[in-house]
Amino acid sequence: MICGHGSRNRAAVREFASLAEGLKPRFPDWPVEYGYLEFAEPVIRDGLDRLRDQGCTRILAVPGMLFAAGHAKNDIPSVLNTYQAENPGVRIDYGRELAIDTRMVRAAGERVREALDKAGNDVPMHETLLVVVGRGSSDPDANSNVSKVTRLLWEGMGFGWAETAYSGVTFPLVEPALEHAAKLGYRRIVVFPYFLFTGVLVSRIYAFTDEVAERHPEIEFVKAGYLNDHPLVLDTFVERVEEILDGANLMNCQLCKYREQVLGFEAEVGLRQESHHHHVEGLGKSAECHLCDDVCTGACESQVREGGHHHHDHGHGHDLGHDHGHHHHGHDHGHDHAHGHDHSHGHSHDHGHHHHPYPHADHPLGPKSMRRG
């Protein structure tokens, strides 16, 4: 069972579904289903129902997320726990996110290399700066993993310099990060969205790249593609399923802000595990954005910047497959994220929305910098 986030963008939903379909040949003896937390259909419960109706009594569930923040730690487990409590004949074992993995880094490196090959080899690597853009989360552990990906790509590929930016929630955001990078004296800047799928956030990253490039014509800006269904990404999903079967516990609980006293986030230790997506679960076509024909152009972003109103604008930030952790409550302190974990115990299923504030929401290089006018 592949558990995704969901998106209002049709292309993003289609890409996630394509990835899930691509996993079916990897498990020829097992049924493979998928579902989303919000906006898109089928929802996670639908996928679980289909597996149950096919006679499955044990379900191996993995989050379709790059890193573990609010969705992988709270929302998906809450849905799985609730479903298992309502279906005592079904055992659900939950695996970990894609995480930092050599295969994921190699896939990222190949996407960056594809962009460099297309741009040409006239600029040496030591005169090229790499900017890796992650989703951004209220979970510092997830944010720090993006920085680690940056370092692994920087050192592995030999860039002259590298920077990390985020598309939302935390800092630095894309535009101030690119302006900073432009001051460092490099002839070429490669912008790589470390995202699984398309959507308004990837479009926003590319749009900010174009804006900064116009202000700095002396620098060549290169836009790399996102990960999508790269074969090494599929290999990593397969490994996550095999970890469940092996009983491996590889979750990084030592840096989980809901379990440990992480600097600046001490108040979130022991917060309850609960989902905050019930109100947008399974909206399907009624939630689709129709400003774009298919591929997201960021048209809703333009409306918001110009002071107009678009009733989908707030939802576009919930891009598919990216664990952004918008001030989510944490999980019950007793919850174990280990593989093979039984999800039936001790979790609050309160359907209220109680968002813990991100402590740096007013950082000048963070979300505050996007407020125009």
pLDDT of residue 256: 79
Structure tokens at 11: 């292309």
Averaged pLDDT, 77-103: 96
pLDDT of residue 334: 34
The pTM for the full model equals: 0.80
Residue 71 DSSP class: I
Residue 8 lies in a domain: yes
pLDDT at 233 over 50: yes
Cβ atoms of 226 and 197 closer than 8 Å? yes
Grade residue 11 by pLDDT with cuts at 50, 70 and 90: very high
Residue 304 lies in a domain: no
pLDDT at 177 over 80: yes
243: CATH? 3.40.50.1400
Averaged pLDDT, 92-103: 96
pLDDT at 2 over 90: yes
pLDDT tens readout for residues 296-354: 555 555 554 455 444 333 333 333 333 333 333 333 333 343 434 343 333 333 334 44
Please state, as a whole number, how many other Cβ atoms lie within 10 Å of the Cβ of residue 233: 22
Residue 258 lies in a domain: yes
Averaged pLDDT, 98-115: 98
Domain of residue 86, residue span: 2-99+232-289
Residue 113 lies in a domain: no
Instruction: Report the chain's terminal Cα–Cα distance, integer Å.
Output: 45
Grade residue 289 by pLDDT with cuts at 50, 70 and 90: low
Cβ atoms of 86 and 80 closer than 8 Å? no
Grade residue 285 by pLDDT with cuts at 50, 70 and 90: low
pLDDT of residue 333: 32
Residue 180 lies in a domain: no
Cβ atoms of 196 and 227 closer than 8 Å? yes
Residue 108 lies in a domain: no
pLDDT at 265 over 80: no
pLDDT at 283 over 80: no
pLDDT at 286 over 70: no
pLDDT of residue 340: 41
Give the sheet arrangement for strand 128-134, strand by strand: 161-166, 128-134, 188-193, 220-223
Residue 147 lies in a domain: no
Averaged pLDDT, 10-27: 95
Please state, as a whole number, how many other Cβ atoms lie within 10 Å of the Cβ of residue 88: 8
Closest CA to 248 of 335, 337, 338, 334: 338
Residue 55 DSSP class: T
121: helix, strand or coil: coil
Q: How many residues does the chain have?
A: 373
Grade residue 270 by pLDDT with cuts at 50, 70 and 90: confident
Please state, as a whole number, how many other Cβ atoms lie within 10 Å of the Cβ of residue 316: 25
Residue 210 lies in a domain: no
Cβ atoms of 35 and 6 closer than 8 Å? no
DSSP 299-360: HHHHHHHTT---TTHHHHTS-TT-----S-----TT----TT----SS--------PPPPTT
pLDDT of residue 272: 72
Share of the chain above pLDDT 90, in %: 62
CA distance 230 to 215: 33
Q: Which residues contact 368 (CB under 8 A, 6 or more apart)?
A: 361, 362
Cβ atoms of 95 and 124 closer than 8 Å? no
Closest CA to 73 of 359, 340, 342, 338: 338
Number of domains in the chain: 1
Average predicted confidence (pLDDT) for the chain = 82
pLDDT at 368 over 70: no
pLDDT at 243 over 80: yes
Taking the CA atoms of 79, 85, 91 and 96 in sequence, report the sign of the dihedral they define. Answer: positive
pLDDT at 38 over 60: yes
Higher-pLDDT residue of 216 and 308 is 216
Higher-pLDDT residue of 335 and 178 is 178
For the stretch 291-309, what's the b/e string if a residue is b when 16 or more beta carbons lie within 10 angstroms of its beta carbon?
bbeeebebebbeebeeeee
pLDDT tens readout for residues 115-148: 999 999 899 999 999 999 999 998 999 999 999 9
Averaged pLDDT, 172-181: 98
